[in-house]
Amino acid sequence: MSKSIYETLEMAKKQYHIGNYDNTIELSSQIMYLKSYQCSALYLIGKSYLQLEDYIMAEDMFTNLVLFSRSSYPYLYLAYIHLLNGRYENSIQSCIYIIEDDEENWIAHLFLGINYYKTNDIKAAVNMFWSVHTLLQKDIHLVIYFLIKSNLKLCKYDESIKLSKLLNNVVENEESRYLTNNFPKIYTL
């Protein structure tokens, strides 16, 4: 029986990667109640609901996953969902929780910066965006984009012009692809 459970999980992963999110949810639901596979199933279901833009169900899955997982990923996805829904204070709290556990989690710093930007705490936003840059030691398109927007709000036009020139030269990298694949609406915030 264990082999068929493993096969079901693998099929669910394949369905997710080819974009069949409803099939992913259906397959993962079949094994969700088995303790040894619960985290994997909840994670796949939550990510599938995110792709389907059903944020209520996605939030429910990641909230449940918090109960079973020691990983910071459920909190990261909850921070993202709160950010998408304009619940910035909740998102900020999730980001802070992650950073307290893992100071080098660049995505939590990025989300925290976007939250600060959205709540008009521009100086804190700039600090977070620079911390992402420092943690990765490379340029990421989204970080530079938000730095430009933040500096324009701070009326630092010279800095914005310099960053705009840099933005044109930033190539897609592994981190940018990771953001796009896992947090599909991140570039629309």
Q: What are the structural domain ranges in the chain?
A: 1-70, 72-189
Burial class (CB in 10 A: 0-12, 13-18, 19+), 17: exposed
Secondary element (H or E) of residue 37: none
In terms of phi and psi (left: phi > 0; alpha: psi -120 to 50; beta: otherwise), the region of 53 is left
Model confidence over 22-47: pLDDT tens digits?
Answer: 999 999 998 887 766 788 889 999 99
**Per-residue model confidence as pLDDT tens digits over 92-119:** 999 999 999 999 999 999 999 999 989 9
The single-letter DSSP state of residue 171 is: P
Task: Return the CATH number of 1-70, one of 1.25.40, 1.10.10, 1.10.1740, 3.40.50.
Answer: 1.25.40
Do 137 and 173 touch, CB atoms closer than 8 A? no
Whether the model clears a pTM of 0.75, i.e. scores above it, the answer is yes
Tokens of 5: 């459970």
Q: What is the CATH code of the structural domain delimited by 72-189?
A: 1.25.40.10
CA–CA separation, 53 and 119 (whole Å): 23
